[in-house]
Amino acid sequence: MKLKYTILYVEEVTSSIEFYEQAFGLQRIMIHESGDYGELNTGATTLSFSSRRLMTELGKSPGIPDPSSPVFEIAFETEDVAAALEKARSAGATVVQEVRDEAWGQTTAYVVDNNGYLIEICSPLSGAS
């Protein structure tokens, strides 16, 4: 079994896709003609977006992310956390934590995306294979 995709529930799929393209350099796979679903290529796992409207129509009750009390985060790994943070900031991401070297040998920074989701930008773990 493998993790195929993660879906973020958002108000507007296209603007969410565009934000992630600009902020993190991800490549668009597709946006459905309805505008209610889209995907980005992140490597092995697809990052997907679904409109809250569609999820409500499907009988779900999607919540609104709260960056002050997150229940999960997305992490993007990069060799240059500082440059990635600046790219995200210039695309409109809200910086929550500036670049910091962690005791476990990783460099991290945190931003909030245009929908309120918490995003970690991190280096590979030192010594991890």
Which tens digit of pLDDT belongs to each residue from 42-53?
A: 988 999 999 999
CATH number of domain containing 80: 3.30.720.110
Q: Is residue 62 part of a domain?
A: no
Number of domains in the chain: 2
CATH number of domain containing 42: 3.30.720.120
- Per-residue confidence band for 38, with pLDDT thresholds at 50, 70 and 90: very high
Torsion, Cα 56 27 121 79, to 10 degrees, reads: 160
Domain that holds residue 89: 74-122
Instruction: Let me know whether 53 and 78 are in one domain.
Output: no
Average of per-residue pLDDT values in the chain = 95
Q: What is the pTM of this model?
A: 0.91
